Structure 1
Amino acid sequence: KDQRPELKHVYSQVLQDVQNRVHLAFDAFFRRVKRGETPGYPRFKGRGWYDSFTFKQAGFGFRVDGQWLDVSKIGSVQMINHRPINGTIKTLTIRRTSTGKWFACFSVEAKPEPLPPTQRAVGVDVGLEKFATLSTGEQIAHPRCFRKDERALAKAQRRLSKVEKGTPECTKRRKVVAHIHERIANRRKDFAHKLSRRLVKEFGIIVLENLSIARMMKNHSLAKSIADAAWNQLGSYTRYKAASAGRTYLEVDPRGTSQRCSRCRGVVKKDLSVRVHQCPYCGLQMDRDLNAALNILAVGLHSIGSQSVEAACL
C-alpha cells in the first residue's frame, strides 16, 4: 500500500482474496500439467478483465440491512432481492457482467430441506436429436439456445469487427454482442434449472451419464451442437439439488449403453445414424435413446446394489 496508495481505498480482505485467486490459478495449472494436459499459463488480469471482488467473512467489510447492502470503502447500495436470503451468510462476491449489470452473490450456510421420500428411480440419456430421453419413455425437446440467436450473434460480431478498437462505437457494439451471449446463457440456465428441479422433485434416484465433453468436442462436425447442449450444466445443477433434497444422484460410464440390449443384455452394434434398437436375440424393438436410458438406469441401480426401488421405466 506504500507503493500503491490507491489500494488503501480497498478493504483488506478483498486484497487478500486476490492473492488467493492467483494461488488457485497456479495450483490448477500445475495440476493439469501433471495430468499430461497442455493448459494455458495463468494470465495477468488488468483493469478491463477483472469483474468481481470477494469479502471472505460476513460481518467484516459488509452488512445486509433489508434492501440495503453496506459495503466497506464503498457505502450503502440498494439491492433488488430476487428471493429471501435463508441461512447464515458466509461470503459476498460482487460481480459485474459483460453487459454492465452488477450482482451481489452471497454464499450461505443453510440446513438441507429434504423432500418427501420416493422409491422412484430414473435413467437419463442425453443426445443431440432430443436433449434427453428418460427411462419412462418421455423425450425432452432440445432448447437449441445458441441456434436461435446464431444469426443475430454473427451479424453483431461482424458489425463489431468493422469499428476501431477503443472507440465509443466499439464499446457500444461490444455491448450488443455481450447482450446476445448473456441471453443465450440465461436461456440455458433457465432450462437446466427447471429440468433438474423437476427430476429431483419426481425421483428418488437419478442416473445420468458421465460424459467426456472435451473428448466429444474433438468431433468438429458436432462440436457446435455439443457446446449448445450444455449437458454438464444439467448434471451439476441436478447434483447439488439432489444433495439438498436428500435424493441419490449417480453418474455412470456411458460405454456400451447404446449398444447393449436393455432386455437380454446382448450387444447390438449400431452407429449414430441408426435411431431404432432392434435386438436379433430377443426381438426387442424400441427407440435407441430409450434403450440407452434403460441401460443407464440398470447400471446405476446395480452400482448401489439397489433392489427395493420402483424403476421408472416401461
Structure 2
Amino acid sequence: MLVFEFKAYGKSAQLIAVDDAIRTAKFIRNSCIRLWMDVQGIGKNDLQKYCAVLAANFPFASELNSMARQASAERAWSSISQFYDNCKKGIPGLKGYPQFHKNCRSVEYKTSGWKLADNRKSITFSDKKGIGRLKLKGTRDLHFYQVNQIKRVRLVKRADGVYVQFCIDVDRSENIEPTGNTVGLDVGLKEYYTDSNGAMTENPKFLRSGEKVLKRLGRRVSRRVKGSKNRGKARLILGKRHLKISRQRKDHAVKLARCVVQSNDLIAYEDLRIKNMVKNHCLAKSINDASWYQFRVWVEYFGKVFKRVTVAVNPQYSSQECSSCGEVVKKTLSTRTHVCLCGCVMDRDENAARIILSRGLGTVGHTGTFALAESWAREDSRVNLSKTDVSNTWGDETSTQSGETLIEQVMS
C-alpha cells in the first residue's frame, strides 16, 4: 500500500465544510466507543450497523458519506481490537484502553463519495457536506495508477492547510545488485548512529536548534487573550513551526534509512523500548528529538522494498560486552572509550555496533533466510548454487561467524 499526499486548495467555505466532515467523523467514532463501553459483547459488525442508526437520528451525521461513516467505525474497532490484543499479551497497565478523541484531524472515504478528475489535478467530494471540488498540488503523478487501485482517500488538516492522501493498493519493490556488506547500527544522542565500521553520523537535533524560536512563539500565545482571533493566529504560527520540525525529522530519517539499506545486504540494529527510555526525564527530550523509532520504521520499510535483511537484536549489555573477547566491561554513560584487558581499545559506540552486528549475524544464521540466499544466487551469475545447496548451507548446523560477511559464508 502506497500513500501519496497532495496539498488541497479551495475556498474558505469549502475548508469550513472539511472541518465539519472531520467533526462528524470524530462524533461517529466516539459514539461507537461509547456503545462498546455500555453494551457488552459488541463486535465489528454491530458498530457498522450502528452507523446507520446515528445517520437516522442525527441529520449532520447523515450528510457524511455512508462509507466514510463506516471508516470511522472501523477506526473505533481498531482501537478496541488493539486493546484486546494487549490484554491477551499480558501487557501491564491500562493496556491501551480505548479513549475518546478530542482533537481529530482527518476523515477517511473509501471507494465512494469522491471522484478524481481526468487530469488528476483535482478531486470532487459528492456527499452532502458541501466540500465540492478541491485543487491538488503535489510532486506525485497519479496517472501511473488506475482509479480502482485507490482504496482510501483521506482529508487531513494540518497547521498549514488541508491535505488529501490517496491510499493505493500496490506493492512496491525494487531490485538492486547485492553489495556483500553487513552493518550493525548503534544509535545514540551524541552521534545519531555509529556503525560497525566506525563511521559516525551527526545528530541534527532539530528540536534543540529550533527551541529558542518555539519558546518565543509560546510566550506570544500565552500573552494573547483566550478565545481571541490574535491568539488563534499565534497558535497557528506555533503549530507551523512544530510541523516544520516534524517534517525535518522525517526527511532526515527517510534519506538516512534509504542510504543505509541500499549500501548493505544486512542491517542489524537494537530492539529499543523507547516508551520505557523516555521515563528518564533527564534524557526524554533528547531521545524524542532523535526519533530513533521513526528511523527504525523506515529501515524496515526500505528493507522490504529493496529485499534486504533487517534484524532487531536484544540491546542488553551491548555497550558493556567486549567485541573482541566477549568479556563484560562495566562503563558509565560518561565513559566514551571501551578499554578491555584483552587489549581492545575503541570508541564505545563502535564496540556496541560490532556486538549488535555479531548478534544479528548469529540470529540470521540460525533462523535461516532462504529467500535472501536464493536471490543472491540468482542475481550473481558467477555463483552457481542450486536450491539444494542453499538449503544445506542455511541450516541450524552452520551460523554466520562474526568476522565474515553473510554472502561469503553462503558461498563457502
TM-score by length of 2: 0.70
Is 1:276 equivalent to 2:337 in the alignment? yes
What is the aligned-residue RMSD (CA, Å)?
Answer: 1.9
Residues 336 and 348 of structure 2 are in contact (CA less than 8 Å); yes or no, is this contact kept in structure 1?
A: yes
Is 1:16 equivalent to 2:113 in the alignment? no
Give the corresponding residue for 2:93.
Answer: 37
2:190 alignment partner, SS class: coil
2:352 alignment partner, SS class: helix
Partner letter of residue 287 of structure 1?
D
CA deviations over 1:178-212 (Å, ceiling 9, x no partner):
01110110110011011001011111111110101
1:217 to 261, 275, 278: 278
Q: How does 1:51-66 map to 2 (within 5 A)?
A: 51-57=105-111, 60-64=112-116, 65=118, 66=120
CA deviations over 1:118-155 (Å, ceiling 9, x no partner):
32111000001111001121100001010011111112
Is 1:84 equivalent to 2:181 in the alignment? no
Count of residues in correspondence between the two structures: 305
CA deviations over 1:83-107 (Å, ceiling 9, x no partner):
224553221111111x141111122
Partner letter of residue 114 of structure 2?
F
- Between 1 and 2, higher relative CO (CA 8 Å, sep ≥ 6) is seen in 1
Task: Work out the CA distance in 1 between the residues paired with 2:260 and 2:163.
Answer: 28
What percent identity do the matched residue pairs reach? 34
Give the corresponding residue for 1:237.
Answer: 298
Give the corresponding residue for 2:213.
Answer: 152
2:345 to 274, 279, 285: 285
Residues 160 and 170 of structure 1 are in contact (CA less than 8 Å); yes or no, is this contact kept in structure 2?
A: yes
Unaligned runs of 5+ in 1: none
Partner letter of residue 217 of structure 2?
A
Give the corresponding residue for 1:102.
Answer: 162
Task: Work out the CA distance in 1 between the residues paired with 2:263 and 2:154.
Answer: 33
Residues 192 and 201 of structure 2 are in contact (CA less than 8 Å); yes or no, is this contact kept in structure 1?
A: yes
Q: How does 1:240-259 map to 2 (within 5 A)?
A: 240-259=301-320
Give the corresponding residue for 1:309.
Answer: 406
CA deviations over 1:200-256 (Å, ceiling 9, x no partner):
111111111010111111111111111111100100011111111111111111011
1:262 alignment partner, SS class: coil
2:151 alignment partner, SS class: strand
Give the corresponding residue for 1:75.
Answer: 132
1:266 to 327, 331, 335: 327
Is 1:140 equivalent to 2:194 in the alignment? no
CA deviations over 1:15-63 (Å, ceiling 9, x no partner):
11111112222333454465222367544335xx221111233xx2223
Which is higher, the Rg of structure 1 or of structure 2? 2
Greater Cα offset, 108-117 or 37-46 = 37-46
Residues 121 and 310 of structure 1 are in contact (CA less than 8 Å); yes or no, is this contact kept in structure 2?
A: no
1:109 CA displacement: 2.4
1:310 CA displacement: 6.1
Task: Work out the CA distance in 1 between the residues paired with 2:164 and 2:81.
Answer: 27
1:81 CA displacement: 2.4
1:54 alignment partner, SS class: strand
Cα pair distance change 1:29/1:154, threshold 3 Å = farther
1:71 CA displacement: 2.4
Unaligned runs of 5+ in 2: 1-54, 366-398
Partner letter of residue 177 of structure 1?
L
Give the corresponding residue for 2:45.
Answer: none
Cα pair distance change 1:40/1:253, threshold 3 Å = closer
1:157 CA displacement: 1.3
Cα pair distance change 1:154/1:39, threshold 3 Å = farther
1:296 to 341, 356, 368: 356
Task: Work out the CA distance in 2 between the residues paired with 1:122 and 1:195.
Answer: 14
Cα pair distance change 1:228/1:37, threshold 3 Å = same
Residues 160 and 240 of structure 2 are in contact (CA less than 8 Å); yes or no, is this contact kept in structure 1?
A: no
CA deviations over 1:275-306 (Å, ceiling 9, x no partner):
001111x2011100000011101100100116
Task: Work out the CA distance in 1 between the residues paired with 2:217 and 2:94.
Answer: 32
TM-score by length of 1: 0.91
